[in-house]
Amino acid sequence: MSTVFSKIPSDPNSTILFQYQGVFDDVPVCYRTWRIDDIQGDSIIFQHKDLFGQEDRQIIKKIQASHLVDKSKTIAISRNHPDFVFVNFNFSVV
């Protein structure tokens, strides 16, 4: 994993079940499947600089068009970290 993606913060209550560094829409990303308590979900994590100028709705539209997302479920974007943008989806109770 690149040095940049090795610095992604994690919630101390979460367990990372799967993590893979790849590319989404020609942009480097980290894909994670995680679990917090009885909630499991997926995240595509972008470097903040790679999404400069893109609105949340543009990002959501691209991710919804992928085969990764259960289209019946909610997609949430978090821009609370200065270096990363978290796009969270496929939430389920386990």
User: Per the structure, how many domains does the chain have?
Assistant: 1
Residue 1 placed within a domain: no
Residue 58 placed within a domain: yes
Neighbours of 43 (CB within 10 A): 22
Q: Taking the model in full, what pTM does it have?
A: 0.92
Q: For position 45, which CATH number holds?
A: 3.30.200
The per-residue pLDDT for range 9-64, each reduced to its tens digit, is 888 999 999 999 999 999 999 999 999 999 999 999 999 999 999 999 999 999 99
Residue 85 placed within a domain: yes
Domain encompassing residue 72: 13-93
Residue 77 placed within a domain: yes
Residue 5 placed within a domain: no
Residue 35 placed within a domain: yes
Q: Which residues contact 4 (CB under 8 A, 6 or more apart)?
A: 28, 47, 83
